[in-house]
Amino acid sequence: MGKRLIVASLLLGGLLAGCATAPVQEMSDARQALLAARQAGAASRAPQVYSRAEALMQRAEDQLSVGGYASARKLAEEAKKAAQEARDKALTQ
């Protein structure tokens, strides 16, 4: 029984550690999407959506800085989508 408890504890610890990793890729993807939107002129051609993307990215960075990795990941993904939408709108106007 002792071995099972140790193994279960190690597995659970490994799972929790995997969930608590910094969302490096998601943050990078969101930054790249914001850059692409900016270069497409989204700040002037789709200002509302672009501002929303920037605000989401700022919130993601704030969460990242305090260790809120799950929140940062979700916010970065939302920022990326908003930035892509802003870029698309800017390019179609």
Q: Please, what sign has the CA dihedral across residues 61, 63, 64, 66? A: positive
pLDDT of residue 5: 58
Whether residue 67 contacts residue 21, with contact meaning beta carbons closer than 8 Å, is answered with no
For the residues 37-41, what does the mean pLDDT come to? 99
Phi first, then psi, for residue 68 (nearest 5°) are -85, 70
The answer as to whether 8 is a domain residue is no
CA 71 and chain centroid, separation: 8
Cα–Cα distances in angstroms (integers) from residue 90 to residues 27, 53, 72, in the given order: 22, 14, 26
The answer as to whether 80 is a domain residue is yes
The answer as to whether 55 is a domain residue is yes
The answer as to whether 10 is a domain residue is no
Number of separate domains in the chain: 1
pLDDT of residue 31: 99
Q: Which domain holds residue 52?
A: 23-92
The answer as to whether 3 is a domain residue is no
75: its two tokens: 């916010």
The answer as to whether 34 is a domain residue is yes
The answer as to whether 18 is a domain residue is no
Q: What is the pTM of this model?
A: 0.79
